[in-house]
A = this chain, B = another copy of it.
């Protein structure tokens, strides 16, 4: 059997705006069809026939009208009223040209716990629908009064036994209940009329609130959507993959951007299913032109723009090893850590130089994941721009990219302070794009997520999510303020930093202080607490205190680290030493660092050359 072409849909409820905004955004992002959420239709000034025409113009089909609620297993008078209500909606659907209606399992106090009655009434509904060329897709809401598992909805559909009666499966309702999805394999694909996809974070809360506010696009949450989709597709289901995501942020964000993020999620999900799903579905899910990622070999360099950073870099033992042949970029190096300093733009980490054996393939992959081209091309190597605006330059590990740089005059003093390489970079992202940006970096660079942390900083909560490749050559830590509003929070906006590695952070700190590097002082209260918590040997604690080193410990080993002041108002450096495979980022110490940065800023002008 030749598979029909895979269709990708999005529910209008995922997107902000009125129906015209939503349809335009869905079409622009390349979706094939939409689910029309009833309220979007109700408030529209377009009559159903006009909506149909508009969708036609945009190349969108209307694949589902939803939701129809509280229909089944009710007393005869309510049943009559519900049939009347359904007929009115069938009128609308025929004008829309929509052939499938979603019927959610009842939450009504009128309903009774009687599967036979539910099946009988759904059969009658399907008969009437069928006469008008409409199909009924019955869905078990996770909070349905009597029917709240897909197994139960399937029993009722089977008992209802009508060609126009089938199932709607929604990953949220199935996976939020922790249902065993193996049972899906006994459902004939032809009886699955519709497949709705949503991811979600693991939250222990009321499932209805969880569903209505916290759904995410695939890959952004904690659900195993790949296995779910593979299982459903293996039944022979040939309908659309349709995103139905209720999310407070998406409801009020630019729908064009949300739709593009949604499409990226589907691309990544399809790749996953095509790699690891049941054999018979892999080809169908394959994404054309999406090459496999090469494992990154590490950071070749990080490009930085900051107010006059040369003084700080020199005081940290870096050496100016070259000047770009055509651009105002200086290359500074110490050990394997290279910082490309760019003049004349606002303070930020501008680009990551990622070493990979196949730069061109890696860049093509990133573009297929909806990265834009690098807007301001300064490198001959393939480059893209991540959704947060950071450039990614893919270079060969052999370092031939360095041929672009002319070495400076000889005789320069080399103050090596023991920095050996780049451990990670840390970026602060806007809350509304945080999940998508994290997903992009993981998918584009082949990283795996690490445990998420949330902590109370002096000016509000910060969530931190990091990712790294298996060999820990590329680590990226992404941070987000879970709220940032109003004029109060005086802290720097969206800080970013580069963390360098050292094999002996004490010696490195000593050497840097001797060279006059602007290192951050940590208050004494912190060390009194370290003493209380860890009972470190007194001489070790004194060493930490003397050099303002921070300390953490995990189940693997220990972590020592220190920071510089801000270069201007947002970028700074860190030096870290990982002992015995410590895996974290010292997040527990972040509030101390933030308060110290602020204290310094209140007391002094930022450190400048």
> When chains A and B are docked, how far (Å) is the Cα of A523 from the Cα of B51?
13
Q: In whole Å, how far is A211's beta carbon from the nearest beta carbon of chain B?
A: 13
Asked if A47 and B486 sit within 8 Å, CB to CB, the answer is no
The yes or no answer to A539 lying at the interface (CB within 8 A) is: no
- Which of A98-106, A119-127, A529-537 lies on the face that meets chain B? A529-537
Asked if A18 and B458 sit within 8 Å, CB to CB, the answer is yes
> When chains A and B are docked, how far (Å) is the Cα of A206 from the Cα of B523?
35
A-B pairs with lowest CB-CB distance, top 4: A252-B460, A205-B205, A43-B595, A88-B532
Asked if B47 and A16 sit within 8 Å, CB to CB, the answer is no
Asked if A531 and B88 sit within 8 Å, CB to CB, the answer is yes
List CB contacts (< 8 Å) of A207-221 with chain B.
Answer: 209
> When chains A and B are docked, how far (Å) is the Cα of A465 from the Cα of B411?
73
The yes or no answer to A459 lying at the interface (CB within 8 A) is: yes
Q: In whole Å, how far is A86's beta carbon from the nearest beta carbon of chain B?
A: 8
Asked if A251 and B531 sit within 8 Å, CB to CB, the answer is no
Asked if A459 and B16 sit within 8 Å, CB to CB, the answer is yes
Q: Which of B205, B432, B487, B532 contacts A89 (CB 8 A)?
A: B532
> When chains A and B are docked, how far (Å) is the Cα of A203 from the Cα of B206?
8
Asked if B525 and A39 sit within 8 Å, CB to CB, the answer is no
Asked if A481 and B42 sit within 8 Å, CB to CB, the answer is no
Asked if B592 and A486 sit within 8 Å, CB to CB, the answer is no
Q: Which of B41, B456, B487 contacts A251 (CB 8 A)?
A: B456
The yes or no answer to A204 lying at the interface (CB within 8 A) is: yes
The yes or no answer to A45 lying at the interface (CB within 8 A) is: yes
Asked if B81 and A535 sit within 8 Å, CB to CB, the answer is yes
Q: Within 8 Å CB of A39, what residues of B?
A: 456, 591
17 inter-chain pairs at a CB distance below 8 angstroms, sorted by A residue, are A16-B489, A17-B488, A18-B595, A42-B525, A42-B529, A43-B458, A43-B525, A43-B526, A43-B596, A44-B525, A84-B535, A88-B528, A88-B532, A205-B206, A254-B486, A431-B485, A485-B485
Q: Within 8 Å CB of A489, what residues of B?
A: 16, 252
Q: Within 8 Å CB of A458, what residues of B?
A: 16-18, 43
Q: In whole Å, how far is A215's beta carbon from the nearest beta carbon of chain B?
A: 13
The yes or no answer to A253 lying at the interface (CB within 8 A) is: yes
The yes or no answer to A461 lying at the interface (CB within 8 A) is: yes
Asked if A18 and B598 sit within 8 Å, CB to CB, the answer is yes
Q: Which of B253, B486, B533, B599 contacts A85 (CB 8 A)?
A: B533
Nearest opposing residue in chain B for A593, CB measure:
B43
The yes or no answer to A484 lying at the interface (CB within 8 A) is: yes
Asked if B42 and A483 sit within 8 Å, CB to CB, the answer is no
List CB contacts (< 8 Å) of A81-113 with chain B.
Answer: 81, 84-85, 88-89, 91-92
Q: A residues bordering B, Cβ < 8 Å?
A: 13, 16-18, 38-39, 41-48, 81, 84-85, 88-89, 91-92, 203-206, 209, 248-249, 251-255, 431-432, 456, 458-461, 481-489, 523-526, 528-529, 531-533, 535, 591-592, 594-596, 598-599
Q: In whole Å, how far is A544's beta carbon from the nearest beta carbon of chain B?
A: 14
> When chains A and B are docked, how far (Å) is the Cα of A579 from the Cα of B258?
43
Asked if B460 and A45 sit within 8 Å, CB to CB, the answer is no
Taking A16-B488, A458-B43 as contacts, is the C-beta distance between A483 and B526 under 8 angstroms? no
Q: Within 8 Å CB of A209, what residues of B?
A: 203-205
Q: Within 8 Å CB of A484, what residues of B?
A: 252
Q: Within 8 Å CB of A595, what residues of B?
A: 18, 43-45
Nearest opposing residue in chain B for A251, CB measure:
B460
Nearest opposing residue in chain B for A87, CB measure:
B532
Asked if A483 and B249 sit within 8 Å, CB to CB, the answer is yes
Nearest opposing residue in chain B for A521, CB measure:
B45
Q: In whole Å, how far is A268's beta carbon from the nearest beta carbon of chain B?
A: 24
Q: Within 8 Å CB of A253, what residues of B?
A: 485-486, 488
Nearest opposing residue in chain B for A485, CB measure:
B432
Q: In whole Å, how far is A543's beta carbon from the nearest beta carbon of chain B?
A: 19
Q: In whole Å, how far is A122's beta carbon from the nearest beta carbon of chain B?
A: 18
Nearest opposing residue in chain B for A213, CB measure:
B461
Asked if A41 and B204 sit within 8 Å, CB to CB, the answer is no
Q: Within 8 Å CB of A531, what residues of B?
A: 88
Q: Which of B89, B488, B525, B592 contacts A254 (CB 8 A)?
A: B488
Q: In whole Å, how far is A252's beta carbon from the nearest beta carbon of chain B?
A: 3
Asked if A43 and B592 sit within 8 Å, CB to CB, the answer is yes
Q: Within 8 Å CB of A254, what residues of B?
A: 486-488
Q: In whole Å, how far is A311's beta carbon from the nearest beta carbon of chain B?
A: 25
Q: Which of B42, B205, B251, B483 contacts A203 (CB 8 A)?
A: B205
Q: In whole Å, how far is A19's beta carbon from the nearest beta carbon of chain B?
A: 9
Q: In whole Å, how far is A81's beta carbon from the nearest beta carbon of chain B?
A: 7
Nearest opposing residue in chain B for A457, CB measure:
B251
> When chains A and B are docked, how far (Å) is the Cα of A395 from the Cα of B166?
65
Taking A84-B535, A85-B532 as contacts, is the C-beta distance between A599 and B252 under 8 angstroms? no
> When chains A and B are docked, how far (Å) is the Cα of A422 from the Cα of B18?
31
Q: In whole Å, how far is A104's beta carbon from the nearest beta carbon of chain B?
A: 16
Asked if A17 and B459 sit within 8 Å, CB to CB, the answer is yes
> When chains A and B are docked, how far (Å) is the Cα of A281 from the Cα of B521?
50
Candidate in A16, A482, A533 with the most chain B CB atoms within 10 angstroms: A16
Q: In whole Å, how far is A505's beta carbon from the nearest beta carbon of chain B?
A: 21
Asked if A481 and B43 sit within 8 Å, CB to CB, the answer is no
Asked if A525 and B251 sit within 8 Å, CB to CB, the answer is no
Taking A16-B460, A39-B591, A43-B592 as contacts, is the C-beta distance between A252 and B488 under 8 angstroms? yes
